[in-house]
Amino acid sequence: MPNKLINEESPYLRQHANNPVNWYPWSKEAFELANKENKPIFLSIGYSACHWCHVMERESFENEEIAKKLNNNFISIKVDKEERPDIDKHFQEIFIKMNNKAGGWPLSIFMSSNKVPFYSATYIPPIANYGMMGFGELLDIIANSWKKDSQMLISKGEEVLNALKPKNKIEATKITPELIDIATKQIKQVYDKKYGGFGNAPKFPHASTINLAIDLYKLTNDSELKNIVINTLDNMLLGGIYDIVEGGFCRYSTDEQWLVPHFEKMLYDNALMLEVLAKSYKVFKIKHYLKSAQEIANFIIDKISQDNLYFSACDADTNGIEGEYFIYDYNEVKEAFEKEGLDKSLLYDLTITKNGNFDGKSIVRLNNISLNADKNIEKALNILKNIRNSREFPFVDKKIITSWNAMFITGLFELAKIDNSYKDIAIKSLDALEKKMLVNNSLFHSTLIENSPKVEGFLEDYAYLIRAKLSSFSITLDEIELIEATNLLNEAIKKFYDNGRWRVGDSEFKNFVDDFDSSYPSSLSIMVENLLTLRSLTDNSYEKFAYMTLQVNSYQLMRQAISRPTLTNCAIRYIKDDIIIKSKIKNLKELLDIDFKYPYTLLKPTLDEKFEICNNKACFASVESAKEVERVVIS
């Protein structure tokens, strides 16, 4: 018999609806029942494309014995972290405070009915393994401890909650041009010279760090930064974390070479890497960057979209086997190549071997990035794509998430600056997103494609939608987009801004947004970017909100720029004196076509014709003709 999750919209929650665990969604009913029966709560947070979430479900939540222990002694609650990022943010902070390390998914929290946590973990094996206590044994210990002295557990949890309360004292420092050198030095320090990327395995794409490196290169002309970007992108695009057969980035690589990923593909990773690759092509003119950007866009459009809206993710597993859809048996490929008359040397070029590189089979990977332009490789990849067409495509989580859709739309607009065929797609997608998620002037966060939205928008939804609308304005010059972006910005300030800090959402958890970038750029940083752009295009009063946000976060920013690359970019943009350039613009076409040294937005010109430039192109509000440009500049 299904549990309470059967009535939920979230595909992730519904995946657990037939577990023997008597799951509840996050609801008043669950907490009231825990209070009434004097039971602790077991909270499990995950998402549909999470590999280890699936593992824990198979091992523990489908285990009748473990389910019995949960049902007898706990009230069990499941949360989709993509649907409720505010809940996830709150309990990830609790995990960090309790364990002195970063958390992850699945996140496992034990707490009281009034939401006081007293134990936290991520993945827990069913029996003792990996140096960890088994989940069944842990449930027994916690259940007995609760019955013996629940107040002691609650007291310990309250200490954690008190430690998480924001401090009134804010450490601030002056943001100086030295930030450019600090950021450059730190990027070089964490860079993997051999395989590219930043840090050790597991390795993530770190799109925002690559983006910062590109902008610093444009600003300083430091050839080492150029090499960092190119070596990183080229190594990823060989294949593995990047799917060279169908396009699209996987979540992360388990090894330092970018070869073996967890095969889930998230919309946000691909949105960010689409933008980075399009930008990298414009800067470095390397053709396979444009090709890969187009492949990403086409994969998302073809495989995980409907009605110009984009789904949140596709899974790593098929039929319970990780990577089954993506990997190849040597003989099946060899026979397919022979049938089409392709030389068997292509097997070597694509790293397809008898022994394989993943569980006896092969993840497709180029032996050399130069093969990207080889026509025979292109034919071989089409054959591999046809082999996949006979397979079952992984599960797709059909949630529409406002922020992630807006990220992808921004990437499409960036690509449209190079390939105009994507312009109409971006415009239609932005229109579809607003019709779906902006209802009666209220912005919502997520819903299924066929349903009406119910979860109210978070800061990230406002931040990324505003950015998408400004991207639209930069390419269409439709001032309606500018007006609507301004209205959304004003609403976001009213709902989420608090003296230089920004709240995650307007729900029961009043957590503030982090300034550092995690899976994707901090919504705080994106808001600063939006404020600086609209300060220049519409109203100077937005500068004070950007300034206060930078000041509140200045202490860590000047010390650990590498952890907050998007905010670092914003801060460098704000340091006007070092980045203002002189330019004499003759006509509107020149105004829109000029590629400037660093991405800054055009301010209204002063008498000595100084301009601040943003978003890669100079852009001028309320200007409809070259003659008017000349008039404004001259005056």
120 in a domain, yes or no?
yes
Which has the minimum average pLDDT: 81-90, 195-204, 296-305, 599-608?
599-608
- So what's the pLDDT on residue 167? 64
Q: Can you tell me the mean pLDDT for 451-456?
A: 94
- So what's the pLDDT on residue 166? 66
Q: Can you tell me the mean pLDDT for 88-116?
A: 94
Percent of the chain with pLDDT over 90: 82
Claim to verify: residue 136 and residue 65 sit in the same structural domain: yes
Residue where a domain terminates, one of 105, 140, 164: 164
Claim to verify: residue 613 and residue 537 sit in the same structural domain: no
268 in a domain, yes or no?
no
Considering the chain, what is the average pLDDT of its residues? 89
CA distance readout (Å), 337 to 347, 371, 380: 9, 17, 7
- So what's the pLDDT on residue 618? 33
Total tally of structural domains belonging to the chain:
4
Q: Can you tell me the mean pLDDT for 104-126?
A: 95
Q: Can you tell me the mean pLDDT for 126-135?
A: 87
66: CATH: 3.40.30.10
Is residue 622 over pLDDT 60? no
Q: What are phi and psi of 595, to 5 degrees?
A: -95, 115
117 in a domain, yes or no?
yes
Is residue 384 over pLDDT 60? yes
DSSP 473-503: HHHH--HHHHHHHHHHHHHHHHHHEETTEEB
Q: Which two tokens stand for residue 148?
A: 């013996």
74 in a domain, yes or no?
yes
* Burial category of 382 from C-beta neighbours within 10 Å (exposed 0-12, middle 13-18, buried 19 and up): exposed
Residue where a domain terminates, one of 130, 164, 198: 164
91 in a domain, yes or no?
yes
Residue where a domain terminates, one of 574, 593, 622: 574
At 225-246, the pLDDT tens digits run 999 999 999 999 999 999 999 9
Claim to verify: residue 496 and residue 607 sit in the same structural domain: no
At 301-356, the pLDDT tens digits run 999 999 999 999 999 988 888 999 999 999 999 999 999 999 999 999 999 999 99
Claim to verify: residue 40 and residue 84 sit in the same structural domain: yes
Claim to verify: residue 555 and residue 605 sit in the same structural domain: no
Is residue 427 over pLDDT 90? yes
Claim to verify: residue 357 and residue 477 sit in the same structural domain: no
Amino acid found at 232? T
Claim to verify: residue 535 and residue 554 sit in the same structural domain: yes
Claim to verify: residue 38 and residue 141 sit in the same structural domain: yes
Is residue 34 over pLDDT 70? yes
At 166-213, the pLDDT tens digits run 666 667 899 999 999 999 999 999 999 999 999 999 999 999 999 999
Is residue 631 over pLDDT 50? no
292 in a domain, yes or no?
no
Query: Which contiguous run of DSSP H or E holds residue 531?
Result: helix 523-537
Residues 6+ away with beta carbon under 8 Å from 483:
none
Confidence of residue 160 (pLDDT cuts 50, 70, 90): confident
Helices of type H across 340-446: 345-349, 375-389, 402-416, 423-437
Claim to verify: residue 598 and residue 556 sit in the same structural domain: no
Is residue 633 over pLDDT 50? no
Q: What are phi and psi of 57, to 5 degrees?
A: -65, -50
Maximum distance among all Cα pairs of the chain, rounded to whole angstroms: 82
* CB contact at 8 A, 613 and 602: yes
Claim to verify: residue 547 and residue 614 sit in the same structural domain: no
Confidence of residue 156 (pLDDT cuts 50, 70, 90): confident
Q: What are phi and psi of 55, to 5 degrees?
A: -60, -45
- So what's the pLDDT on residue 168? 62
Claim to verify: residue 139 and residue 18 sit in the same structural domain: yes
Confidence of residue 517 (pLDDT cuts 50, 70, 90): very high
272 in a domain, yes or no?
no
Respond yes or no on whether the N-terminal peptide bond of residue 106 is cis (omega within 30° of 0).
yes
Q: Please list the residues that pair with 617 across neighbouring strands.
A: 595
- So what's the pLDDT on residue 217? 96
Can you give the residue range of the structural domain that contains 483? 458-574
Q: Can you tell me the mean pLDDT for 502-512?
A: 89
318 in a domain, yes or no?
no
* CB contact at 8 A, 523 and 464: yes
Confidence of residue 131 (pLDDT cuts 50, 70, 90): confident
Length of the chain equals: 635
Tell me which range, 197-206, 575-584, 612-621, is most confidently predicted by mean pLDDT: 197-206
Spatial distance between the Cα atoms of 617 and 153, rounded to a whole number of angstroms: 57
Q: Can you tell me the mean pLDDT for 113-141?
A: 92
State whether the Cα torsion 75-78-83-84 is positive or negative.
positive
Q: Which two tokens stand for residue 354?
A: 């008898």
For the chain, helix (H) and strand (E) counts, in that order, are: 24, 20
Claim to verify: residue 385 and residue 489 sit in the same structural domain: no
Tell me which range, 41-55, 423-437, 564-578, is most confidently predicted by mean pLDDT: 423-437
